[in-house]
Structure 1
């Protein structure tokens, strides 16, 4: 039975890879299930200890924001309806795990090119830039990130030892406009993200000291 058009469509969280210079999509990787928990840490950038008193309330840039989550992957449902030659039957969850893990590797072509440059005597061999990773958690949270840590626990396997159930813990650091170059296209993603936060904060509206049981601060 088709779902009712009045039923809201469940949005998927996920990661998107884009060419940093052009914004051209490279990969879209939705998470199979939305995680139950999303942990975020924001560390402000302000004056250091011993700074003059007038610097006490000054912020020197956006906070360092880190995100951690655990994604579950399960091939059980796919296996029930899979043909013998389908990826689910022959590879299990390997494709889903591989596309996440690949975000931590430089491309083979780039590695070979760097090796060839070094073999020709190049004094400085710079790694080729990788696609920009963008974390998407609903329409209000679309942010450029760097994947800083990944931990994979494979819980079950098929007869060929392909993983069919797994948990993936991801740690991400949000890349802000200072990290990316303020006028760059990737920085515009971050600025839009911060702008949405400021807009949402404005919706909270004004409150009175009386809400805190005070008539004045002193």
Structure 2
């Protein structure tokens, strides 16, 4: 909850495209009411060796799901909705996170006609989920569905709900030169500090006194 005079931060999806120096920032019109997070431990493959049972192979695999609601009636008066486009532009901005650039596709088609043996698959922009100042996460979209809830007379969607599924990319997924690599390391360090700030007192209160001893 926010106090009087406080302004709630808006979550956003940011796409950093190396071919476009201007980041594509898609701020949520309304913050999703829920953010579902699933963490799967990444354990070492020890094949039952007792001495290795507690080893971790890396950070957990984390998946996120959320729903983004968009309503043209609550868009700025001079925004795209006023031009009779409904919520098409913001839907297009979100969907383009999944598309390779058309210029790259055309360039690859030319190379193919010229007989190039190896054509590199297009690289998606680095996508970040910005959920407050403490969570700026590199992510990869894994699921995307759109429910168009209302349309205008021209069948432009004027109200829609977008369901997004994401996998968090860690330092094991990205090269050290990638911005996302550093962002995830910073995220983990911040999480470690938050865990520490929980306080030794709370931990001590949960432990039996005196502590059991093993002989």
Could you say which residue in structure 1 is the equivalent of 2:32? 35
Name which of structure 1's ranges 162-171 and 202-211 shifts more when overlaid on structure 2: 202-211
Per-residue displacement from partner, 1:135-186 (whole Å, max 9, x unpaired)? Answer: 1000000011111111100000000000011100000111101110135332
CA drift at 1:54:
1.5
Could you say which residue in structure 1 is the equivalent of 2:108? 114
Per-residue displacement from partner, 1:114-137 (whole Å, max 9, x unpaired)? Answer: 111111111121123232101100
Name which of structure 1's ranges 204-213 and 108-117 shifts more when overlaid on structure 2: 204-213
CA distance in 2, matches of 1:78, 1:128: 33
The correspondence of residues 113-192 of structure 1 with structure 2, limited to 5 A, is 113-192=107-186
Could you say which residue in structure 2 is the equivalent of 1:8? 6
CA distance in 1, matches of 2:204, 2:80: 61
Q: In angstroms, what is the RMSD of aligned CA positions?
A: 2.2
CA distance in 2, matches of 1:95, 1:17: 15
Distance 1:78 1:140, change over 3 A: closer
TM-score by length of 2: 0.88
Structure 1 runs not aligned, ≥5 long: 1-5
Which residue, out of 85, 92, 97, partners 1:98? 92
Contact map agreement 2:46 2:53 (CA 8 A) in 1: no
Contact map agreement 2:137 2:180 (CA 8 A) in 1: no
Per-residue displacement from partner, 1:53-88 (whole Å, max 9, x unpaired)? Answer: 111100111111111000100112348x56xxx631
CA distance in 2, matches of 1:205, 1:33: 34
